[in-house]
Amino acid sequence: MQYNFGEIEPKWQKFWEDNKTFRTDSTDKTKPKYYVLDMFPYPSGAGLHVGHVEGYTATDILARFKRMNGHNVLHPMGWDSFGLPAENYAIKTGTHPNVITKENIGNFTRQLKACGFSYDWDREIATSSIDYYKWTQWIFTQLYNKGLAFEDEISVNWCPELKTVLANEEVIDGKSEVGGHPVVRKPMKQWMLKITEYADRLLEDLDDLDWPESLKELQRNWIGRSEGAQVSFEVKGADSKIDVFTTRPDTLFGATYMVLAPEHDLVAKITTEDQKADIEAYIKEAALKSDLDRTDLNKNKSGVFTGAYAINPLNGKEIPIWIADYVLISYGTGAIMAVPAHDERDWEFAKKYDLEILPVLEGGDVNEAAFTGDGTHINSDFLDGLNKEDAISKVIAHLEEKNIGKKEINYKLRDWLFSRQRYWGEPFPILKFEDGTVRCLDEDELPVGLPEVEKYEPSGTGESPLARIDDWLYLTDPKTGKKARRETNTMPQWAGSCWYYLRFIDPKNSEVAWDKQLEEYWMPVDLYVGGVEHAVLHLLYARFWHKVLFDLGLVSTKEPFQKLFNQGLILDEHGEKMSKSKGNTVNPDDIIKEYGADALRLYEMFMGPLEKVKPWQTKGVKGVFNFLRKSFTFYGNPENTYEGEEKNQDVLKHLHKTIKKVTEDVENLRFNTAISAMMVMNNEVIKLGQVSVETAKAFTRLLSPFAPHAAEEMWANLGETTSCSLAPWPAFDPELAKDDLITMAIQVNGKTRSTIDVPADISKEDFLAQAKADEKVAKFITGTIVKEIYVPGRICNIVVKG
What are the binding residues for ATP? 580
Q: Are the C-beta atoms of residues 150 and 191 closer than 8 Å to each other?
A: yes
Task: Please identify, among the stretches 277-285, 325-333, 458-466, 508-516, the one whose residues bind ligand ANZ according to the rule CB under 6 A.
Answer: 325-333
Looking at 44, 118, 164, 251, which residue binds ligand ANZ (CB under 6 A)? 251
Binding ligand ANZ (rule: CB under 6 A), the pick from 130, 288, 292, 328 is 328
Which window, 240-248, 283-291, 297-305, 701-709, contacts ligand ANZ (CB under 6 A)? 240-248
Instruction: State yes or no: residue 313 binds ligand ANZ (CB under 6 A).
Output: no
Closest approach, Cβ 103 to ligand ANZ, in A, equals: 47
Residue type, 348: E
Q: Which of these segments, 127-135, 246-254, 280-288, 570-578, binds ligand ANZ (CB under 6 A)? A: 246-254
Q: Kindly state whether residue 158 participates in binding ligand ANZ, applying the rule CB under 6 A.
A: no
Cβ 257 to ligand ANZ shortest distance, Å: 11
- Closest to ligand ANZ by CB, 331 vs 671, is 331
As beta bridge partners, residue 411 has 225
Looking at the Cβ atoms of 87 and 291, the one nearer to ligand ANZ is 291
Q: Tell me: does residue 245 bind ligand ANZ (CB under 6 A).
A: yes
Closest CA to 473 of 489, 462, 458: 489
C-alpha 706/C-alpha 181 separation (Å) is 49
Least spacing, CB of residue 248 vs ligand ANZ, in Å: 4
CB 309 within 8 A of CB 320: yes
Q: Is residue 614 within a helix (H) or strand (E), and if so which, with residue range?
A: strand 614-615
Instruction: Tell the smallest beta-carbon distance from residue 348 to ligand ANZ (Å).
Output: 13
Site string for ligand ANZ, 180-219 (x = CB under 6 A): ----------------------------------------
Nearer to ligand ANZ among residue 326 and residue 671 (C-beta): 326
Name the residue nearer to ligand ANZ (CB basis): 52 or 342. Answer: 342
Cross-strand pairs, 759: 741
- For 1-135, strand residue ranges (E) read 33-38, 72-74, 78-79, 125-126
Which letter does DSSP use for residue 640 in this model? Answer: G
- Measured from the CB of residue 233, what is the shortest distance to ligand ANZ in angstroms? 12
Q: Which is nearer to ligand ANZ, 233 or 561 (CB)?
A: 233
Cα(424)–Cα(464) distance, integer angstroms: 10
Q: Which of residues 536-595 bind ligand ANZ (CB under 6 A)?
A: none
Q: Count the Cβ atoms, other than its own, within 10 Å of residue 194.
A: 17
Measured from the CB of residue 298, what is the shortest distance to ligand ANZ in angstroms? 16
Find the distance separating the first CA and the last CA of the chain, reported in whole Å. Answer: 70
- Closest to ligand ANZ by CB, 332 or 524: 332
Q: Write the single-letter amino acid at 783.
A: G
Using a 10 angstrom Cβ sphere, with 0-12 exposed, 13-18 middle and 19 or more buried, the burial of residue 685 is: buried
Q: Which helix (H) or strand (E) holds 472?
A: helix 470-473
Q: Is 527 helix (H, G, I), strand (E, B) or coil?
A: strand
Among 88, 226, 302, 717, binds ligand ANZ (CB under 6 A): 226
Other CB atoms within 10 A of residue 311 CB: 16
List the x/- string, 331-370, binding to ligand ANZ by CB under 6 A.
Answer: xx-x-xx-x--xx---------------------------
| Residue 554 C-alpha from the chain's centroid | 24
Check residue 642 and give left, alpha or beta (phi > 0: left; psi -120 to 50: alpha).
beta
| Site stretch for ligand ANZ (CB under 6 A), options 323-331, 684-692, 745-753, 772-780 | 323-331
Tell me how far, at minimum, the Cβ of 343 lies from ligand ANZ, in Å. Answer: 4
- Identity of the residue, 247 or 379, whose beta carbon is nearer to ligand ANZ in the bound complex: 247
Which residue ranges make up the annotated binding site? 580
CB nearer ligand ANZ, residue 339 or residue 391: 339
Residue 317 or 563 having the CB closest to ligand ANZ = 317
Residue 226 or 562 having the CB closest to ligand ANZ: 226
The span from the CA of 370 to the CA of 530, in Å, is 42
Question: 6 to each of 594, 714, 723, how far by Cα in Å?
Answer: 9, 15, 19
Contact between 498 and 416 under an 8 Å Cβ cutoff? The reply is: no
Report the site for ligand ANZ in 468-487 (rule: CB under 6 A): none
Between CA 703 and CA 675 the distance in angstroms is 8
Shortest spacing between CB 228 and ligand ANZ, in angstroms: 6
DSSP 8-state code for residue 480: T
Instruction: Choose, by CB under 6 A, the member of 141, 219, 290, 410 that binds ligand ANZ.
Output: 410
For ligand ANZ, which is the closer residue by CB, 327 or 716?
327
Nearer to ligand ANZ, 381 or 684 (CB): 381
Smallest distance, ligand ANZ to C-beta of residue 508, A: 47
C-alpha angle 669-114-16 in degrees, rounded to nearest 5: 85
Measured from the CB of residue 326, what is the shortest distance to ligand ANZ in angstroms? 6
- Cβ distance to ligand ANZ smaller for residue 125 or 358: 358
Question: Which of 129, 247, 376, 754 is close enough to bind ligand ANZ by CB under 6 A?
Answer: 247
Residue 801: how many other CB atoms lie within 10 Å: 10
Give the Å distances, CA to CA, from 425 to 98, 127, 489, 491, 611.
Answer: 11, 9, 9, 6, 33
- With 0-12 / 13-18 / 19 or more C-beta atoms within 10 angstroms meaning exposed / middle / buried, residue 457 is middle
Residue count at the site for ligand ANZ (CB under 6 A)?
Answer: 17
Could you give the CA distance from residue 408 to residue 412 in angstroms, rounded to a whole number?
13
Q: What is the DSSP string of 23-55?
A: ---TT-TTSPEEEEEE-PPP--TT---HHHHHH
Residue closer to ligand ANZ, measured from CB, 218 or 571: 218
Nearest approach, Cβ of 370 to ligand ANZ (angstroms)?
7
Choose among 119, 120, 106, 126: nearest CA to 59.
119
3-class DSSP assignment, residue 517: helix
Tell me, what DSSP letter sits at residue 439? E
CA distance 644 to 197: 65
For the CB of residue 524, give the shortest distance to ligand ANZ in the complex, in Å: 32
DSSP for 724-742, please give it.
Answer: GGGSPPPP--HHHHSPPEE
Question: Exposed/middle/buried for 205, CB within 10 Å: 0-12, 13-18, 19+?
Answer: middle
Specify whether the CB–CB gap between 184 and 287 falls below 8 A.
Answer: yes
Name the minimum Å distance from CB 325 to ligand ANZ. 9
Question: In the bound complex, what is the minimum distance in angstroms from residue 787's beta carbon to ligand ANZ?
Answer: 48
DSSP state of 442: P
Smallest gap from residue 444 Cβ to ligand ANZ (A): 45
Question: Given the complex with ligand ANZ, which of 129 and 226 has the nearer CB atom?
Answer: 226
Restricted to residues 258-287, the positions that interact with ligand ANZ (CB under 6 A) are: none
CB burial of residue 272 (10 Å; 0-12, 13-18, 19+)? exposed
* Residues near ligand ANZ (CB under 6 A): 226, 245-248, 251, 327-328, 331-332, 334, 336-337, 339, 342-343, 410
